[in-house]
Structure 1
Amino acid sequence: MKRSKLLILGVCMVFVLSLLAACSQDNTKNNASGASSEPSETQQATGTESQSAKEVKITFFNTSAEINTVFENLFKVYKEEHPNVTVELIPTPIGGAQIEKFQSLLASGNPATVVNLDAGTIFQYKDKFLDLEPEKAKYEDLALTGAIDGALLDGKFIGVPYSAQGYGLLYNKRVVEEAIGGAFDPATIQTRSDLEALFKKIEATGKAPIMIHGADWSLGSHYQGLAYSLQSNDVETNRQFVEDVKNGTADLSTNQAFNGLMDTLDMLKKYNARKSDPLVADYNKDSADFAKGEAAFFFMGDWSWAVIGPLEGRDNEFGILPVPISDNAADYGNTQVAYTEPKLFAIDNSGSTPEQQEAAKTFIEWLITSEASQKAIIGESGLAMPYKNLKVESSNPMSSAIAKYVAEGKTVNIGVTNYFPADWWAKTGASMQKYLVDKLDRAGLTKEIQDYWKSTAGK
Structure 2
Amino acid sequence: MKIKRFLKLGVISALLLASLAACSDKEESSGTTNGDKGVKITFFNTSAEVNTVFEDLFKKYHELNPNVTVELIPTPIGGQQIEKFQSLIASGTPATIANLDPGTIVQYKDKFLDLESEKAKYESLTNPGAVEGGILDGKFLGIPWTAQGYGLLYNKRVVEEAIGGTFDPASIKTRDDLESLFKKIEAVGKEPVMLHGADWSLGAHYLALSYSLQSDDMEKNRKFVEDMQSGKVKLTDNPQFTGLMDTFDLLKKYNARKNDPLVADYNRDSADFAKGNAAFYFMGDWTWAVIGNLKGRDKEFGVIPVPISNNPEDFGNSQVAFSEPKLFAIDNSGSTKEQQQAAKDLIEWMVTSKEGQDAIITKMGLSMPYKDVKATSTNILSKAVSKYVSQGKVINIGVINYLPQDYWAKTGASMQKYLVEKINREQLAEEVENYWKSTKK
What is the TM-score normalised by the length of structure 2? 0.79
> Do the aligned partners of 1:74 and 1:372 also contact (CA within 8 Å) in 2?
no
Q: Which residue of 1 aligns with 2:271?
A: 288
Provide the residue aligned with 1:246 in structure 2: 229
User: Conserved in 2, the CA contact under 8 Å of 1:193 and 1:327?
Assistant: yes
Alignment counterpart, residue 329 of structure 1, candidates 301, 312, 323: 312
Deviations along 1:409-454, one digit per CA (max 9) or x if unpaired, are 4332323333323332232222222322333322222122111211
Aligned residue for 2:242, secondary structure, equals: helix
Q: Please state which structure has a larger fraction of its residues in helix.
A: 1
Mapped partners of 1:232, 1:332: distance in 2: 8
1:308 and 2:307 equivalent? no
**Aligned with 1:49 (options 21, 31, 36):** 36
* 2:374 match: 391
Give matches, 1:371-410, under 5 Å.
371-410=354-393
CA separation of 1:253/1:166 partners in 2, compared to 1, >3 Å: closer, same or farther?
same
Q: 1:202 to 1:340 in 2, by over 3 A?
A: same
Aligned 1:347-362 pairs, distance under 5 A:
347=330, 361=344
Which residue of structure 2 lines up, in the alignment, with residue 442 of structure 1? 425
CA RMSD of aligned residues (A): 3.1
Structure 2: distance between partners of 1:104 and 1:439: 42
Give 1:157 deviation, angstroms.
Answer: 1.6
Q: 1:253 to 1:350 in 2, by over 3 A?
A: farther
Q: Percent identity?
A: 61
Deviation, 1:268, is 0.9
In structure 2, what is the equivalent of residue 21 of structure 1?
none
> Shift of residue 115 of structure 1?
4.1
| CA displacement 1:129-148 (0-9 Å, x = unmatched) | 34334544553453345432
Cα pair 1:320 1:401 within 8 Å, conserved:
yes
What's the CA shift string for 1:191-223, capped at 9, x where partnerless?
A: 222212222222333332212222322212211
- Aligned partners of 2:295, 2:94: CA distance in 1, in Å? 36
* Matches of 1:132 and 1:408, distance apart in 2: 26
Gaps of 5+ in 2: 1-32, 64-68
Whole-Å Cα distance in 2 between the matches of residues 343 and 179 of structure 1? 39
Local SS of the residue matching 1:220: helix
Gaps of at least 5 residues in structure 1 are 1-45, 63-67
Larger Rg: 1
Q: What is the aligned partner in structure 1 of residue 238 from structure 2?
A: 255
Instruction: Find the counterpart in structure 2 of residue 76 from structure 1.
Output: 56
Q: Is the 8 A contact 2:127 2:389 kept in 1?
A: no
Give the whole-Å Cα distance in 1 for the aligned partners of 2:129 and 2:172.
Answer: 29
Shift of 1:81: 4.4
The 8 Å contact of residues 380 and 395 in structure 1, kept in 2 or not, is answered as no
Give the residue type in structure 2 aligned to 1:415: G
| TM superposition shift of 1:173 | 0.2
Quickly say closer, same or farther: Cα 1:82–1:177, change in 2 above 3 A: same
Q: How many residues align?
A: 401
CA shift at 1:407, angstroms?
4.3
Mapping of residues 121-160 of structure 1, within 5 Å: 121-136=104-119, 138-160=121-143
**In structure 2, distance between residues paired with 1:378 and 1:210:** 29
Alignment of 1:184-263 (within 5 A): 184-263=167-246
Q: 1:348 to 1:281 in 2, by over 3 A?
A: farther
More deviation, 298-307/256-265 = 298-307
Partner AA of 1:92 in structure 2:
I
- Aligned with 1:317 (options 300, 303, 316): 300
Return the offset for 1:158.
1.3
- Write the distance in 2 (CA, Å) between the matches of 1:236 and 1:219: 24
Evaluate the alpha carbon distance shift between residue 130 and residue 330 of structure 1 in structure 2; reply closer, same or farther with a 3 A threshold. closer
Cα distance in 2 between the residues matched to 1:270 and 1:166: 25
Residues 148-204 of structure 1 show CA distances to partners (whole Å, capped at 9, x for unaligned) of 244211221211111232211010101111112211112222222221222222233
Give the TM-score, by structure 1 length.
0.77
- One-letter amino acid matched to 1:169: L
Give the distance between the partners of 1:206 and 1:91, measured in 2 at CA.
45
Q: 70, 78, 82: which one pairs with 1:85?
A: 70
Alpha-carbon spacing, 1:112–1:202, altered in 2? closer, same or farther (3 Å): farther
Residue by residue, what CA displacement relative to the aligned partner does 1:378-406 show, whole Å, maximum 9, x if unpaired? 23455332223222134333333333334
Shift of the 427–104 alpha-carbon distance from structure 1 to 2, 3 Å rule, reads farther
User: Residue 256 of structure 2: which of 269, 273, 276 is its match?
Assistant: 273
In structure 2, the CA distance between the partners of 1:90 and 1:119, relative to structure 1 (3 Å rule), is: same
